[in-house]
Chains A and B, each alone.
Chain A
Amino acid sequence: MERYDLVIIGAGPAGLSAAIEAARCGMNIAVYDENKRPGGQLFKQIHKFFGSKEHHAKERGFHIGEELLAEADRLGVDVSLDTVVTGLYPGNEVMIKKGGQVSHVRGDTVLLAAGASENMAPFDGWTLPGVIGAGAAQTMMNLHGIRPGSRVLMLGSGNVGLVVSYQLLQAGCEVAAVVDAAPKIGGYGVHAAKLARCGVPFQLSSTIVRAKGGDHVEGAVIGRMDEHGKIIPGSETEIDCDTICIAVGLSPMNQLARMSGCRMEQNPKKGGCVPVCNEYGETSVRGLFAAGDAEGIEEASSAMIEGRIAGIACANRLGFLEDGKAKEAVESNEQALDTLRQGMFAPKNRGKQIEKTDEGFPVSQHLLVTGFLGDDEVEVYPGVTHPKGLHPVIECTQNIPCNPCQDACPHGCIHIGSFITALPAVEASAECIGCGRCVASCSGQAIFLVNEDIGGGYASVTMPYEFMPLPEKGDIGLACSRDGQAIGEAEVLDVKSVKAFDHTNLLTIRVPAELSGKARFYKAAQQ
């Protein structure tokens, strides 16, 4: 039986990061992944990630994946693709299957980095063709260039549901609505706001009663739920759609962990049943580690750090890295992990009602229910000011671990401070030169440049724009409010597409001055 210093199951961000650390220490590693391409979830993520600059914030997920792969390549990490790990036995013996051939290898250490599986929502008709998982929608449109449907109903308003809905719009699909059984939107407010201003409605405290259609989806019936989760009679409405996309959460992949006999726990903060791990990610089975979504559903950013910690710990265990160095490396990674795990959406705050931000500002309830900030609500936040001339307006109102906007501004107009989850504030004393970097770097597309008086009773509003076809200078179209309603005429003054902005175009429109605080999206006139 072949023996390796470290066997890694799964080549997503967690597995690859562990491989990188271990390879750096000179370990002999095997990495297995069932796919034709390494990278796990990252290659389906085409949006800019949150986080801090040190952790790839404002980079699109697939670019982060490319960087990880390049680094792994440089260190000579070889990933066995199309290879499924089918068993994990005492003594850290791993059974693999490739092209129908089964073989066994042994790892002096083994890392479980198998990621997550999607939860299902069995409503009447959920097996009809046209009902798909959110991951399937991403695979179809972002990897294969195929639209999952023309008009899609999304079930689930967590970050996955929100992000995938936006990606559907970018792929040219319509999103009929985002439905969620919870009374509040589960994902980041900035993600919801991107959808709302495109006109996507949210239907909360609701669920899909049934999918309609004979051989494939031809519509859906949704109904409102009472506090016991029962459909309120008479509340059913029909939604016109040809596709239903399910994004009701992820569960850690735990079949292999169960087989290994390590201690497991049911932990709702980690998204399900996971191995009990110490601070290095080691399970109760000596030499068996877990990292990433397999250890608890979180983010790619945390998966990468957990992977690094596990890689370092394995190297240390086998004597490839001395204690002092390992301790130092683990500590700095742990610190990074801790910063990411702050804010309203941190694992420790899951399920909590949060009424006020850390700074004491009221959390917009309107945003949580409709997906957009009320016109007057927005005024209380530190990112919204009204100086003369051009200035940024930052509609980022929840404590989330993100700060690229602060780093983006060369003039110090935007302040978050050292606490990454603090709300961005606009510095009154700094002068904005209108470079647009903040707009393009904002992962939540929550920054606008506004000049409330450009003369003649007009204002200008610059917004991030990531759709096709791109409007052209001189086009006349419609200015839309935060809820996607047309509120007036808009003329396109400028469209800026800069390589450094990585496909986030900056669209500047001219609107009647009284709309400067309301116009947040642009639609071509004929739509």
Chain B
Amino acid sequence: MDTSERIAVHPILGVPEKGRQVQFTYNGKTMSGCEGEPVAMALKAAGVMVHRYTKKRHEPRGIFCAIGRCTDCVMVVDGVPNIRTCVTPLAEGMDVRTQDGVTPLAGDKADKEEADGTI
């Protein structure tokens, strides 16, 4: 997976101001991100596109508005569903899971995704 998503030096903004590196888990897998950045940004930087599947039609959703308005990016964070990851700061040790309808994606599917390399 392409990990060149983080801008190292920006021509206008210079080096982005970022928090320290912390670890968190995504569907049980350890990942790292910058403390304080929205969870969705850490996931995006790690190449994760799908945040949840809709309840009725089981369609994938990911970041859409990035300002907390559309709810497309909600996930299960530390066991709590419907957390808007685009406005939730990342903290050390967070447990982030793909949301399936209103619950975490069942274990086998999440694991399968991981094995597929689709995450």
Which of B7, B16, B45 is in CB contact (< 8 Å) with A172? B7
Q: Is the CB of B67 within 8 A of A136?
A: yes
20 extra interface residue pairs, beta carbon distance < 8 Å, beyond A127-B72, A135-B66 = A34-B68, A46-B12, A117-B69, A127-B59, A127-B61, A129-B61, A132-B63, A132-B66, A135-B65, A135-B67, A140-B41, A145-B7, A146-B41, A146-B44, A171-B7, A171-B10, A215-B50, A216-B60, A468-B9, A503-B12
B38 at the binding interface (Cβ < 8 Å): yes
Which of B13, B50, B67 is in CB contact (< 8 Å) with A46? B13
Given the contacts A142-B13, A468-B10, A130 and B62 also touching, CB distance less than 8 Å: yes
Q: Is the CB of B61 within 8 A of A140?
A: no
Q: Which residues of B contact A140 (CB under 8 A)?
A: 41, 44, 63, 66
Q: Which of B56-82 contact A (CB under 8 A)?
A: 59-69, 72
Centre residue among A36, A145, A150, A466 by max chain B CB count within 10 A: A145
Q: Is the CB of A170 within 8 A of B65?
A: no
How far is A60 from B18 in the complex, measured between Cα atoms in Å? 22
Q: Main SS of the interface on chain B?
A: loop
B37 at the binding interface (Cβ < 8 Å): yes
Q: Can you list the 4 inter-chain pairs with the closest CB atoms, starting with the nearest?
A: A129-B62, A145-B16, A136-B66, A216-B49
Given the contacts A144-B37, A145-B18, A146-B6, A131 and B64 also touching, CB distance less than 8 Å: yes
Q: Which residues of A contact B69 (CB under 8 A)?
A: 117
Q: How many positions in chain A have a CB within 8 Å of any CB in the partner chain?
A: 35
Q: Which residues of A contact B66 (CB under 8 A)?
A: 132-133, 135-136, 139-140
Q: Is the CB of B2 within 8 A of A150?
A: yes
Given the contacts A129-B50, A215-B118, A147 and B5 also touching, CB distance less than 8 Å: yes
Q: Is the CB of A133 within 8 A of B65?
A: yes
How far is A60 from B11 in the complex, measured between Cα atoms in Å? 13
Contact surface of B with A, Cβ cutoff 8 Å:
2, 4-7, 9-13, 16, 18, 37-38, 41, 44-45, 49-51, 59-69, 72, 86-87, 118
Q: Which of A104-142 contact B (CB under 8 A)?
A: 117-118, 127-133, 135-136, 139-142
Centre residue among B16, B64, B72 by max chain A CB count within 10 A: B64
Given the contacts A135-B66, A136-B63, A144 and B16 also touching, CB distance less than 8 Å: yes
User: Can you offer 18 A-B residue contacts whose CB atoms are under 8 A?
Assistant: A35-B67, A127-B64, A127-B72, A128-B60, A131-B64, A132-B63, A132-B66, A133-B66, A135-B66, A136-B63, A139-B86, A144-B16, A146-B6, A147-B5, A147-B7, A215-B49, A466-B12, A503-B11
Q: Is the CB of A145 within 8 A of B60?
A: no
A361 at the binding interface (Cβ < 8 Å): no
Q: How far is the CB of B12 from chain A (nearest CB, A)?
A: 5
Q: How far is the CB of B61 from chain A (nearest CB, A)?
A: 6
How far is A34 from B87 in the complex, measured between Cα atoms in Å? 11
Given the contacts A147-B6, A467-B11, A468-B9, A133 and B64 also touching, CB distance less than 8 Å: yes
Q: Which of A162-217 contact B (CB under 8 A)?
A: 170-172, 215-216
Q: Is the CB of B65 within 8 A of A118?
A: yes
Q: Which residues of A contact B49 (CB under 8 A)?
A: 129-130, 215-216
Q: Which of A30-58 contact B (CB under 8 A)?
A: 34-36, 46
Q: How far is the CB of A496 from chain B (nearest CB, A)?
A: 15
Which A residue's beta carbon lies closest to that of B38? A144
How far is A144 from B38 in the complex, measured between Cα atoms in Å? 8
How far is A170 from B61 in the complex, measured between Cα atoms in Å? 27
Centre residue among A133, A144, A172 by max chain B CB count within 10 A: A144
Q: Which residues of B contact A172 (CB under 8 A)?
A: 4, 7
Q: Which residues of B contact A60 (CB under 8 A)?
A: 12
Q: Which residues of B contact A171 (CB under 8 A)?
A: 7, 10
Which B residue's beta carbon lies closest to that of A504? B12
How far is A131 from B50 in the complex, measured between Cα atoms in Å? 12
Q: Is the CB of A147 within 8 A of B4?
A: yes
Which B residue's beta carbon lies closest to that of A133? B65
How far is A467 from B12 in the complex, measured between Cα atoms in Å? 8
Q: Which residues of A contact B118 (CB under 8 A)?
A: 215
Q: Is the CB of A144 within 8 A of B41?
A: yes
How far is A34 from B49 in the complex, measured between Cα atoms in Å? 26
Centre residue among A60, A118, A136 by max chain B CB count within 10 A: A136
Which of B41, B63, B67 is in CB contact (< 8 Å) with A129? B63
Q: Is the CB of B64 within 8 A of A136?
A: yes
Q: Is the CB of A216 within 8 A of B62?
A: yes
Q: Which residues of B contact A35 (CB under 8 A)?
A: 67
Given the contacts A129-B49, A146-B6, A215-B49, A139 and B67 also touching, CB distance less than 8 Å: yes
Q: Is the CB of B11 within 8 A of A468?
A: yes
Q: Which residues of B contact A136 (CB under 8 A)?
A: 63-67
